[in-house]
Chain A
Amino acid sequence: MLKNNDLYSFYAIFKRDLVNIVLNPVLLISNTLFPFVLVMLLSYLTSGSYGSGGVTAYDYYAVTILIYAVLNTAMTASNSFMEKSLKTSNLRIMYAPIKLSHIYMAKIVATFIFTSVCFLGYIIFFNLVFGVNFGGENLIYVILIVLFMNLLSSVTGVFFCCVFKSEELTNKIISVVINVFAILGSLFFRLDGLGPAAERISFISPAKWAAEAIFRIIYDSDFSLFIPGILMLLMASVALLIGCKITFKVEDYVY
C-alpha cells in the first residue's frame, strides 16, 4: 500500500536529490566553506574602518554574506536539477507513474533543507565564535527572514531551469543577476558612499531590502519590514511555483 503512496514516491526522489547535493563537492563547499572564508576575508580587510562604537566588521559582513549565500542557493537548486550528470536520470523518472510536480518539488525541498541547515550552522558558528550579533532574543525573526528568502531562492533556481531547460544558461544568468544585486545591496562594500544616484539605483536590489530588514530587527528591534517582507517572499515563491507548473513540460525533454 505504502509503495503506491504519493508521499513515498516523493520521499524516494527527495532522498536521492539530497544525497546528490551533499555528494557534489562544489555544491558542498560553496554552501559551507565559501561563505565562511568570504566573511573572514572581508572582515579582515575592512577591520580598519570599524571599532569605535562596539560594532565590528564581523557584525556587518556575517549578516551581508549570509544574504549573499542565500541568494546563491538559486545556483544550488539549478545544479541539483539539471546539472549535466544528473539531468538525464532526473528526467528519466518522468516516465514513472508519479506526479510530474514531484520531480521539481523534490529538488526545491532538498535544496531548501540542505542550505537551511548550512545557514543555521553558519549563524551558530559566527554567533559563538566571533560573537556576531544576530539579534539576541529577536534571533528567531532573523532566521525566519533568512528561511523565507532561502525558499524563494530555491524556487527561483528551479523555475529558471524549467524556463531555459538548461542548467548552464540558468546559472550564467542567475550568477550575473545575483552579483549585481549583491553589489547594489552593499553586501561587499558600501555603495551609498558612491553618491545619491548610486543609492537610488540600489533600491531595486532585493538584497538591499533584506539587509535593511535584518539590520533593523537586530539593532533597532524595528519590525516594520518584517511582515511585508515575509508576505512578499511567500507570494513570490508561490507565483514562481505556479510558473514551474506551467513551464515544466515532459515533451520538452524528450530527445
Chain B
Amino acid sequence: MNMINIIKNNLHRAFALRNYVALTMSITLALILGATFLTSQAQSLGRIAVIGDIGEIVHYVNQFEIHQLEEPPAMSEMVRNRYDAVLTRQQDGQFEVFTLRSGEFKALLEQFLDDPAAASGIELKTRGTATNILGFLLMYILIQGIMFMKFFSEDKENGTFKRIVTGPVGIQGYLASQFITTFLLIYLPTFTVLIFSREILKVDLGLSYLYYSWLLALIVCIAAAAAICLTAFVEKEDNAMTLAGAIIVMTSLLSGAFYTIDHNNLIIKTFNSILPQTFVGIVQGVEQELLVSSYLSEIAYLLLTTVLLFTVGLWVCRNRFNRGAY
C-alpha cells in the first residue's frame, strides 16, 4: 500500500513532465525509423574505386560496391573510409591494389580478383531489423533510466527521501517503487511507439510483439536497476547524468550495439560478455530463429545482473543512511 502511494506520486510527477516524456518518445520513434532505414540499405564488403577501365570485374564482384573514377581519390577520402581500396589498371592488364585497411582485407580482395568464381561463395554478414532497432534503442533506454531516476535524486536532495524511508515503507520499499516507476515510464512509452510504428507507419519490426514485449522488459529492467545503483552512488543528479552518459556510450560501442564487432581478442571478448549489452546477442539469436532456450543462461545472467545492481544500490543507500547521510 505504501509503495503504491510512492508510485502514484511519481507518476503524477511524471505527468507534470509530460512534454519531457513526449520528447523521449519522439526520439525513440526517430531511433526506430533510423534503425529500420539503415537495415534496409544494402551492405557490402567494401567500397572499391577503380581507376580507368573497369573491364569485366563489375560482372562478378557483387559483394563489393564498385565505383569507377577518373582520378584516384584523395588520401583524406581513404582515411575517412569513403573507399576501402583503390584498384589501378597496370600496363599488363593486372590491377594494383592500394588500401589502408588490414592485410586480411587486401588478401581477400586479391583473392576476388584472382579467382572470382571461388570467392563469390563468401557470404555477407548482415544484421536483422530487430537487432538494429533494439541495438539502437538499448543505449537510449539505458540513458532514459538515469533520466527518470531524477525523482530519486530530487528526493535525496530536498530531504524527502529521509522522511519517506523512516516511515513504514523503508529503503527497500522506496527503491522498489522507484524501480517500478522507472520501468513503467520507459517500458510503456517505448512499447507504444513500437506499436505506433508498426500499425500506423507500417514499419516492419522484424519480430512479433510477443518477442518485443519480453526482450524490451529485459533491458528496461537492467536500465532501471543500473540507474538505481548509479544514483545511489552519485548524490548529484547532474554528475550522475554525465557519468552515466560516458559509461553507457563507451560500453555500448564496445559491445557492438550499433555494429557487429569482429575482434578475436580474448580480453575484449571476455569484457563484452560481462556487459549487460550482451543483450544484443540474444536479439540476434532470436531473430535468426534460434531456440530461445539456447539463450537461457544469457537471460538468467541479465536477470541476475538486475538483481545484483539493485542490491548494490540498496546496500549503498542503507549504509549511507545508517551513517546519517541524506
Give A contacts to B, CB under 8 Å. Answer: 25-27, 30, 34, 37-38, 41-42, 44-45, 48-55, 59-60, 75, 79, 83-85, 167-168, 171-172, 175-176, 179, 183, 186, 188-190, 192-198, 211-212, 215-216, 218-220, 222
Contacts and interface: CB of A to CB of B under 8 A. Distances in A.
Given A52-B99, A52-B102, 19 more contacts: A26-B242, A48-B102, A48-B104, A51-B100, A52-B101, A52-B103, A53-B100, A55-B78, A55-B79, A60-B81, A168-B238, A175-B241, A194-B38, A194-B41, A196-B41, A216-B76, A218-B76, A219-B75, A219-B76
Contact of A55 (B37, B46, B47, B100): B100
**Which residue among B78, B79, B237, B246 has the maximum number of chain A CB atoms within 10 Å of its CB?**
B79
Contact of A84 (B238, B250, B254): B238
Interface in B72-94: 74-76, 78-82
Nearest to B45: A193
Contacts of B99: 52-53
A45 B261 contact: yes
Contacts, number: 129
B125 interface: no
Q: Which secondary structure dominates where chain B touches chain A?
A: helix
Given A42-B253, A55-B79, A198-B38, A75 B242 contact: yes
B42 interface: yes
Interface in B254-310: 254, 258-259, 261-263, 268
A55 B101 CA distance: 8
Given A193-B43, A216-B76, A220-B74, A48 B236 contact: no
Interface in B206-247: 236-239, 241-243, 245-246
Contact of B79 (A83, A85, A219, A222): A219
27 contacts: A30-B246, A38-B250, A45-B261, A45-B268, A49-B101, A49-B105, A50-B100, A52-B105, A53-B98, A53-B101, A55-B78, A55-B100, A59-B79, A79-B238, A84-B236, A168-B238, A172-B241, A179-B249, A189-B253, A189-B259, A193-B47, A196-B41, A198-B37, A198-B41, A215-B76, A215-B80, A216-B74
Contacts of B42: 195
A189 B102 contact: no
Contacts of A168: 150, 237-238, 241
A171 B80 contact: no
Nearest to B251: A41
Interface in B86-145: 98-106
A44 B272 CA distance: 14
B80 A49 contact: no
A197 B268 CA distance: 32
Contacts of A216: 74, 76
A53 B242 contact: no
Contacts of A175: 241, 245
B241 A195 contact: no
Nearest to A217: B76
A38 B99 CA distance: 25
**Which residue among B76, B82, B102, B245 has the maximum number of chain A CB atoms within 10 Å of its CB?**
B76
Contacts of B78: 53, 55, 219
A34 B43 CA distance: 32
A157 B75 CA distance: 34
A41 B250 contact: yes
Contacts of B100: 50-55
A85 B236 contact: yes
A34 B246 contact: yes
B196 to A, nearest CB: 20
A133 B263 CA distance: 25
B203 interface: no
Given A55-B100, A190-B81, A216-B76, A41 B254 contact: yes
B312 interface: no
Contact of A195 (B41, B82, B254): B41
A151 B78 CA distance: 29
Contacts of A54: 100
B79 A37 contact: no
B169 interface: no
A222 B249 contact: no
Contacts of A212: 76, 80
Contact of B76 (A27, A53, A222): A222
Contacts of B262: 48
A178 B89 CA distance: 42
A220 B75 contact: yes
Contacts of A30: 242, 246
B263 A45 contact: yes
A165 to B, nearest CB: 15
Contacts of A219: 74-76, 78-79
Contacts of A211: 80
A60 B101 CA distance: 12
A27 B243 CA distance: 10
A49 B238 contact: no
A124 B100 CA distance: 24
Given A41-B253, A45-B261, A53-B98, A192 B238 contact: no
Contact of B37 (A167, A190, A193, A197): A197
B243 to A, nearest CB: 6
Contact of A222 (B74, B242, B259): B74
